Every structure is written in structure tokens, then in C-alpha cells.
Chain A
Amino acid sequence: MSATSLGATDQLATPPTGPAPLVETVRHGRWSDLWRAISRNKKAVAGVLLLLVFIVLSIFPGQIAPYDGQAEIFQPALGVSRHHLLGTTAYGQDIFSQVVWGTRLSLMIALAVGGLATVLAVLVGVSAGYLGGATDGFLSLVTDVILVLPIFPLIIVIAAYEKNAGLLTLIVVLGVLGWSYGARQLRSQTLSLRTRDFLESARVRGERKSYVILYEILPTMTSLIVATFLGAALYAVLTAAGLQFIGLGDPNSQSWGTMLYWAENNEALSAGMPLWAIAPGVCIALLGAAFALLNYAFDEVSSPALRVRKLERTKLQKAKPTPAQPAPSETTGGPVLKVEDLSVAYATDAGPVIAVDHVDLELGRGEFLAIVGESGCGKSTLLYAIARLLGSPLPGEIVGGRVLFNGRDLVHLDEKELRRVRWRDLSVVMQSAMNALNPVLTVYQQMEDACRAHANWSKAEIEVRSREVLRLVSIDPVHLNSYPHQLSGGMRQRAMIAMALLFTPDLVIMDEPTSALDVVAQRSLMVQIKELQEQLRFAVVFVTHDMSLVSHFSDRLLVMYAGQVAELSQTKELFDRPLHPYSQGLLGAFPSIHGPKVRLVGIPGSPPDLAHPPAGCRFAPRCPHVEPRCTAAEVPLFSVNGSLVRCVLHEEVG
């Protein structure tokens, strides 16, 4: 039942072809999907089996228990024997029979309370979330108040006044007080769903609110509703047992809690009848565990990040170190970055998926290289492979090739050696600073920890340098003491760039650093990056899906398709004479500012599934110029006037 053995349960996650979203929720988790996921989860199976045992016991106690549990017909305090599997009580009752008969009441309370609490939680939570406004305000307040009121003592108070409270009272009180936790979660889930497209469209269609709630919202919340039920059932099992144990239930009822009450009153443990107290306790714990296990399993199913994906090490072999070459004296003159034959694989249930396939590239000092391509073509994966940021806890592993940075192969450096290179010589700017900056630290604190990790600067020196880099990106240094959420989107992005320049590295890796901004801010940020780059002479690898964005800034362009290099040329060359049909398609997909008006043509279709790449040229299925030889064999890169292109059309020239 270890968490590591759960990897195989994960068929809901789509095979990641880029840095995949890691916390996916089962958005349209219909019953069938949910059932399939659950049936493959060991915790869930254990929970279901336990629950089944108790259900059988509660339905057929007469057939399973050898005697009437209440009948005082045997010798008191008998030990374990063939006739009395668990011995007898101080009153001469058969303990085993009592446990079996006691199942019914305990299970019934659990299921009834679970059901009642779930219905109330759904009603209150979904209405509050969906209706909003004052209704939400009021319902949320009630929910929160009931949530923090200590319910157990409250029930005791009620039971104290109503001595002969029956089973129904107990169920109603537990149910009425136990819904708040679920309601709170259902409310926030509903809130997050409210603005989703499918609900907007239902609203536009003029569907009734009750219809929207019943048929559009509820099915998407299946796993949360089930979790609410399980949580309430678990709580009911424990609370009811506690109440019965202190004698607040009907002392003549047959339940595990009542058994414990009598056992405790007769000091069963010290009086030689330990099983009288142990057996019902174990049953309560097991029934509780059944609900808890199921609940936990549901948690795992609805957020796949919680499951450990077992990397299939057998198939996915790490890159072997190539014999150490004498460190070339390239550290000053040679290329800053040389990627040789780099391959990256993701482990999925269907086996390894090659997301970056034998990529070579070279980057000179101060050079600006842009990598473009559609989403899922492996460009971000390539980037993070170069920066050695793949792997735990993110999926993906380098399975072959080398990344020579200043002549050193980063692929085979261990974490400690890597740390010395990171940020000092190679820094990273990520897509969204909102997510990439630590929300609980100030800008200064985040600069400070980088400085402390790599330099022996005094506090004053760190502050001076931090101010300096902020001014470089034209941010007022007063913002050093701001938290990320206090800055505007553009400022956050520039603050992250400032952070990347703390040590004036040789190479800055940028993953769509402008895509979170509006067009005007994008332009000004690009201009600023370019200026800084020319001023400070660092090299840039810049990933984007927007070719037009980099047209004026990059020296060379690398077009990626399906994990491979499709074309690598000078930027101007590629814009003027794109060689690969894919590059032509990409260019056709962007309007030209200067040229004559042409009809924009997109590229029909979508990138291939990298788990099953098409034979031969991977672009062939979408290519307007496809020929028989395209699919016959793998297409190598051809060299055409200094450009590299992976297309048979250019075979003759090469």
C-alpha cells in the first residue's frame, strides 16, 4: 500500500508533451471515469473491500454470528475458544456475535449521516457559490460558524437535555452539524466553475438555474461530493462511537460504541476480557479507515500531482557520461552553449515519450537565439533540459546527448556542481513572474537569497547591487521591499529579469517572458531586453510561439516541430526565405507589417502525438507538399546556404 506503487493508476493524465500542467483536476469527472480511476488505486480497493465486509456483516448478522449478541446465556468472562471466537463478556454474552450484530447500527449511522450531510453540503455550498451576492455572504457565514463550533461538545449538550434521544435524533443532529466542511469546499469549487465557458454558454442559452446546477455543475464535482460523503461518514463513525462510549446513547442498543461502554464499566481490559474492549475498537478503526482510505484515494484521483509517477527506468535510461574530454580552452572564445544530440523523454503509462529528439545547436557569446514552434513541440522542454531543470518533481529526463556550457557538460554535473554554475553564469526568466516569484518573500529577499547562494557579499553590497539591477530594468528601487502581488504584471516581469542579471551571467534562458503581457508592454519589454543584452553582452535563448515578436530582436531562429529541429537559420533569412513548409506555414500564420496584403493561411491539423510520431517526416501529415519519399524514411537535416532544414525538398541542394 505504499504510495510509490500507485504510479500505474494514472490513466487520466494525458501524456505530457511539454512541461505539462501538473495539477490537473478531473474536470468532467463523470462516474465512469471516476470508477475506472478508483478501481486501479490500491488504497481505494482496500477501502472498498473493508467496506464490503462490513456491509455483508450488517446485512446478514443472523447468518454470520453464531449466537444472539445480547443473550446472557454463557459463563461470564470465558477466554477464546472454538465456541467463542473472541470469548464472552462479564454478562455471559458471546463477544464475536456482539461485534457482528453491532455492525448494523454503526454502519447505518455512518451512511445516514454521510448522506444527510452531503445533501445539505451540496445544497448550501452550490447555492452559495452559484447565486453569489448576499445569499452567498449569509450562507458562507453560517457555514463558517458551524464549521468552527466544536460540534462534539454541542451534541453532548443536546444529548444531556434529551436523555432518551433516539437513533433518529442522533443521525439528524450529526448530519445537521456535519455538513459545513463539505459545503465550504463545494462553494469554492462552484465559484471557480462559475466563469467557465460551458456555464457561460448555458447561461446564454437561457437555461434555468436549477437545470444549470443539476446538469452542468454537479456532474463536474462528483469527486468532491463523494469526498464530502466519505468525510462525513468517517466523522459520524467516530463521533457516534464516542457518544455511545460515554453512555449518551441507548445503553441497550447493539453497537460497537455501546460495547465499549459496557466493557469500560466492567473494566474489561484489566479483568481478563481484553477482547471485549479491543474487538469493537478495532472494528470502529477499520470502518473509519475504510472511509479514510477511500477519501484519500479520491484525493489522489482528483489531483494527479499527488500520485508518484513511477519512472520506467528500464526503458528510460539516463544519458551515459561520455568520456571526459579535456576541458577545451573555449571558456573565453568558443561558443557559450553547445547542445549535442540532446534527447529528453517523459515517462508515461504508455511508455517513454521522446519530447526532444536529438537536437543540436550552438550559441555564440552575446548571441540571441529564438526558438519558435506551436505549443507541445518540445521547445520549453528543450529549454529546461539545457538549464537542467527537468526531473523531480517535474517529469522528464535527459536520455542522451550533451549540453556544453562554457565547455562543461551540464548533463553530468551533480546538483552541487550545478549550483555553482546556476545564476552566476546561467540564469532563467520564466513565463509568468506571478508564478515564478515566491509570493511570501519581498523582491529584495528573493534577490538576497540568490546573492547569498553565490557570493560573499555584505548586506550593503547586496543592497547596492539589487538597486542597480532594478534601475537597469527601470524599476524604482523602492519596490525592493514590495511583495510580488503588489507589483503590476509588467513590473513583476521586469523584476524577474533584473533578478536574472544580478551576476551578469553569460547566458539567460527565457521562456516566453512576455506572453503574460499586453501587446504594448510586450514590445517595450522586448526592446529593453535587447538593449540590456547588447549592453551587458549576455547570450539569450528565447522561446516563444509568436514569431513576429522576435523578428527584430533575434540573430538566429530555430523552428521546432514535434521535438525535432525543423529549421535553423539567420532570422532575416528565415523571414525572407523560409525553407521548411512548417516555417512557411508559421509565417503565413502571422501578419506581416510591411509586405503586401496576403491572405493569412494557418496550418491545418495539429502537432502529432509524440507517443506515436508519424513515420518519416513528422510534418508530412499536415504538409501541403507531401511526397511518397517523405514518409519512407527519417528525414535528416540538410544544409542549404548556411541554414539547416529537415525537408526532402532541399535534398538536392544539400
Chain B
Amino acid sequence: MRFVLRRLGFFVVTLWAAITLNFLIPRLMPGNAALAMMARYRGHINPQALHAIQIAFGVNNHQGLLASYFAYLGNIFRGRFGVSLTFFPDAVTHDVLQALPWTLALVGVTTILAFVLGTLIGLLAAWRRGGWLDGALPPIFVITSSFPYFWLALLAIWLFAIKLGWLPQSGGYDIKDNVAWTWGFAGDAAKHAILPAMTILITSIGAWILTMRNNTISVLAEDYIRMARAKGLHPWRIMWTYAGRNAILPNLVGFAMSLGFVVAGAILVEYVFNYPGVGWMFLQSVENQDYALMQALFLMIVVAVLTAILAADVATVALDPRTRDVR
């Protein structure tokens, strides 16, 4: 329990760091980007709305830096991120919440799938050391994991959508459809998700395979594996509860660390596919200089990553009894 609490504390500290960066970056940039940003809003919206944004951003010419910082923190706490310029007059939170399910479904599911599959394949490759799986996989995946996600996405669109015409080339669903909970819509959304999902899967799975393979190889040299063999346990039992259970622990830590990489890739994949998720909207907001939306989406991404890491921590606690004891 102590472990989880400590990780929760870390979650809060990191989130605070991200919020603070969000506040500081526009102010530290040469030419005070925050003021330039306000200038951009002026004339587009009525003074009342402008004032609201000023509060949301903590940009207020009458306040000192520290005072506006606390005002900013307060606004974030109450979920007041301001008004989106792109989707005026939507509140930013409204837009973010609209994009979130798409990304959770695409990136979330794919990442978990890549982790689970990669871990299994890595375990098998190490278990059958020197077999064809073990011989072929590492070189292949060392190379695929250095592919740029977006480039693979471009090729996938070209081949499967344009040349072969098997799958739609962009978007999250057919525009003719109504976004609703129907089978037809779900099937359409799934069809749109296949290509981006495969892109993320292929480029991200290599890392999990390689680290799991290497972890397992180290674990296989441990005395408890020899002991398990001496006990005459079934090989599957040894592979699963002796090798796998122990080798996955460092992989869970690795999961947390590599997540940033996956997120970066996923943002670009959404961008290439015009997939209506957080990443695509994030880049849209950058393009439209919609800073309020951009900041909110950035924080959204941070929260998503931190939540995933926390989940990995919880899994670690569940799988490793040593983390459960107060030390």
C-alpha cells in the first residue's frame, strides 16, 4: 500500500510540474507569447469572453507573476480551461471530452494489445532460445521499432486505402454516419481504426518483444528456474509462473518509460489519418494557434500517461509481493 501511495504522490508532483510548465512556457518565451496570444483573441470575441480567457490563462496585466500563477492553478482545479477558438464558443473541456473516447479506444486498446502480445512473444522467443522465433525476431524488431510511426502510416494509407482500396484512408467514421451507439456505426468506426491501429501496433510492439526477451533470458539463468526444473514441474508452469512472472516485472517499469514514445507516435498517427482523437485535435490547435485548447489537451495527455503509469504500478504491486511490504 505504501508503494501505491508513494506512486500517487509522484503522480501529483508530475502533474503539478506539467501544469507549471504549461503556465511558464508561454511566459518564458521571447516576446511574451502569452500577450501575443491575447492579442490574437482580441477582436474575435466579445470583451466578456476575452476576460474569461484572461482569467483562465492567468494573463492579467494587473497581477504579478506569482498571483497569476495561483489564479491559474485555481482555474485548472475548477476545470476552467477557457474557450476554444477553433470550435468557438465551445468550452475547451467540451472539445477535449469529445476527442478523448476516440483516442482511448484507438491508442489505449492498441497500446495494451501491443504490450500483451509483445510480452508473450518475447517470453516465447526467450523460452525457445535459439529457435526460429528467437533467431528472426530481434533483428526484425530492432529495425521496425526505429521506423517513424507517421511514415509507416503514410505507406499504409497509400497501400491499403489508395492502391488496394480495402480500408478507408482517413477519419474516425464515415461522415454520412451519425455518431450514435449503433452496430453500424461501431462497425464503421472499427473499419476506420484498423489501419491506424496496425501502424501503432507494428511500430510499438518491437520494444516490448525485445525487452521481454532480454528480461526472460536473464531470469532463465536464475537459480529458481533450475530449482523448478529439479522439482519436475511442467515446462509450461516453469515458463509461466517462474520465468514469465518474474521477467514481466522490469517490463512493467519499461512500460511506463516507453509510453512517451508511444504517445508521440500516436499523435502523429492520428494526424496522418485525420483521426478525431486527442492527438489530432492537439495538432489542429497548434496550427490554429488555439492556445487554450492546446494547453488543455497537453494536460489531458499528461494525465492519460500518468494514469497508465499508475496502472502499471498497480500491476507491479499485484504481481510482485516484495513491493507490498513496507521497507
Bound state CA distance, A619 and B301, in angstroms? 69
Question: Are A437 and B155 in contact, with the CB atoms below 8 A?
Answer: no
Cβ-neighbour of A162 out of B30, B227, B302 (below 8 A): B30
Closest to A180 in B: B257
Partner of A152, one of B13, B222, B267: B267
Nearest neighbor of A147 in chain B, beta-carbon distance: B257
Pick the residue among A149, A159, A238, A394 that contacts B14 (CB under 8 A).
A149
The smallest beta-carbon distance between A444 and chain B, in angstroms, is 13
**A424 and B286 in contact, given A149-B14, A246-B271 (Cβ under 8 angstroms):** no
Q: How far is the CA of A256 from the CA of B237 in the complex (A)?
A: 49
Least distance between A328 CB and chain B CB atoms (Å): 24
Residues of A within 8 A of B321 (CB): 439-440, 442, 483, 485
For the residues of B in contact with A, the DSSP-based class is helix
A153 touches which of B155, B228, B264 (Cβ 8 Å): B264
| Nearest CB of A to B4, in Å | 16
Q: Is the CB of B221 within 8 A of A393?
A: yes
Contact B33 A156 (CB under 8 A): no
Does B256 interact with chain A (Cβ within 8 Å)? yes
Known: A149-B14, A285-B143, A308-B129. Contact between A436 and B223, CB under 8 A?
A: yes
B78 on interface, CB distance cutoff 8 Å: no
Residues of A within 8 A of B184 (CB): none
Q: Report the interface size for chain B: residues with CB under 8 A from the other chain.
A: 89
Q: Which residues of B contact A238 (CB under 8 A)?
A: 146, 148, 264
How close is B229's CB to chain A, nearest CB, in angstroms?
Answer: 6
**Contact residues in A for B246 (Cβ distance below 8 Å):** 438-440
Question: Which chain A residues (423-469) contact chain B, with CB distance < 8 Å?
Answer: 423-424, 427-428, 430-432, 435-442, 449-450, 453-454
With A161-B26, A292-B145, A393-B129: A450-B231 Cβ-Cβ less than 8 Å: yes
Query: Cβ of A449: which chain B residues have Cβ within 8 Å of it?
Result: 231, 233, 237, 241
Can you name the residue of chain A whose Cβ is closest to the Cβ of B210?
A296
In the complex, which residues of chain B have a beta carbon less than 8 angstroms from the beta carbon of A153?
A: 263-264, 267, 282, 297-298, 301
Judge whether B230 and A387 touch: CB under 8 Å: yes
Kindly state whether residue B242 has any CB partner on chain A within 8 Å: yes
> How far is B4's CA from A15's CA once the two chains are assembled, in angstroms?
44
Tell whether B100 is near chain A: CB-to-CB under 8 Å: no
- Judge if B97 is at the interface, Cβ distance under 8 Å: no
How many Å from the CB of A194 to the closest CB on chain B? 19
Evaluate whether A277 and B130 lie within 8 angstroms (CB atoms) in the complex, with A288-B146, A453-B234 already known: no
Q: Does B47 contact A (CB under 8 A)?
A: no
Distance in angstroms from B47 CB to nearest chain A CB is: 24
Bitwise, B130-155 to A at CB < 8 A (1) or not (0) is 10001110110011011111110011
Take A4-B130, A150-B302, A393-B217 as given contacts and tell me if A157 and B22 are in contact as well, using a CB distance cutoff of 8 Å. Answer: yes
Q: Which residues of A contact B221 (CB under 8 A)?
A: 22-23, 305, 393-394
Majority SS at the chain A contact face: helix
Task: List chain B residues, Cβ under 8 A from A284.
Answer: 148, 151
User: What sequence of 0s and 1s flags, for each residue 251-271 of chain B, a beta carbon within 8 Å of any chain A beta carbon?
Assistant: 000001101110110011001
B309 interface hit (Cβ, 8 Å) = yes
Per the bound structure, the CA–CA distance linking A415 and B234 in Å amounts to 10
A421 in contact with B232 given A43-B142, A393-B129 (CB within 8 Å)? yes
| Contact assessment for B162 and A269 in the assembled complex, using a CB-CB cutoff below 8 Å | yes
Q: Are B33 and A3 in contact (CB under 8 A)?
A: no
Residues of chain B contacted by A1 (CB below 8 angstroms):
139
Q: For the complex, give the distance between the alpha carbons of A483 and B246 in Å.
A: 14
Q: Indicate whether A639 reaches chain B with its CB closer than 8 angstroms.
A: no
Complex contacts, B83 vs chain A, CB 8 Å: none
- For residue B294, CB closer than 8 A to chain A, the reply is yes
Contact of B294 (CB < 8 Å), options: A157, A239, A450: A157
Given contacts A284-B148, A423-B232, A440-B321, contact A154 B138 (CB under 8 A): no
Q: Measured between alpha carbons, how far is A636 from B237 in the docked complex, in Å?
A: 45
Contact of A270 with B162 in the complex, beta carbons under 8 Å:
yes
Contact A161 to B25, CB < 8 A, known contacts A387-B230, A450-B231: yes
* Interface residue B306 (Cβ < 8 Å from any Cβ of A): yes
- Does B220 reach chain A (CB closer than 8 Å)? yes
Q: Are B139 and A157 in contact (CB under 8 A)?
A: no
Docked complex Cα distance between A285 and B139 (Å): 14
Q: Which 10 pairs between the two chains have the least Cβ-Cβ distance?
A: A288-B146, A422-B232, A152-B264, A281-B151, A22-B221, A435-B223, A161-B33, A2-B135, A269-B158, A428-B230
Q: A4-B130, A153-B282, A246-B286 are in contact. List 15 more A-B contacts (CB 8 A).
A: A3-B139, A4-B135, A23-B221, A150-B301, A152-B264, A237-B146, A281-B147, A281-B154, A296-B210, A303-B214, A387-B230, A419-B232, A438-B242, A483-B321, A485-B322
| 10 A-B pairs (CB sep. < 8 Å) | A2-B139, A153-B264, A269-B162, A285-B146, A292-B145, A436-B227, A439-B322, A441-B245, A483-B321, A485-B321
